[in-house]
Amino acid sequence: MGFTYVNVTVHGKKASRDIKMLVGTGSTYIVLDPGIIRELDVPTPVLSVYALETLGLKVNPRTGELEEISPEGGYLL
């Protein structure tokens, strides 16, 4: 089994750039070099549902606020 790479275009507020990225079929997150993030002025980082669940939180769609999933907290606590 080898590695799979793709060329993607990342669009930011300041510019766009073609980047060769490694495809991680088991990955949950997108990882960009901090220098590219600054160069392109990419939008605010996103806190994923996986991170929220790990912390024992969820978003209430009516209020937009974070709520505790369970009294004992997240999976890592």
Per-residue pLDDT tens over the stretch 21-64: 888 766 667 778 889 888 989 886 667 777 777 778 888 888 88
Are residues 38 and 51 located together in one domain of the fold?
no
Residue 77 pLDDT more than 60? no
- pLDDT number for residue 66: 84
Structurally, the chain folds into a number of domains equal to 2
Which residue from 6, 8, 10 is spatially nearest to 41, judged by alpha carbons? 10
CA distance 20 to 74: 35
Which domain covers residue 17, as residue numbers? 1-43
Q: What is the pTM of this model?
A: 0.53
* Average pLDDT of the segment spanning 66-73: 73
Q: 54: burial class by Cβ within 10 Å (0-12, 13-18, 19+)?
A: middle
Q: Are residues 27 and 8 in the same domain?
A: yes
pLDDT for res 15: 92
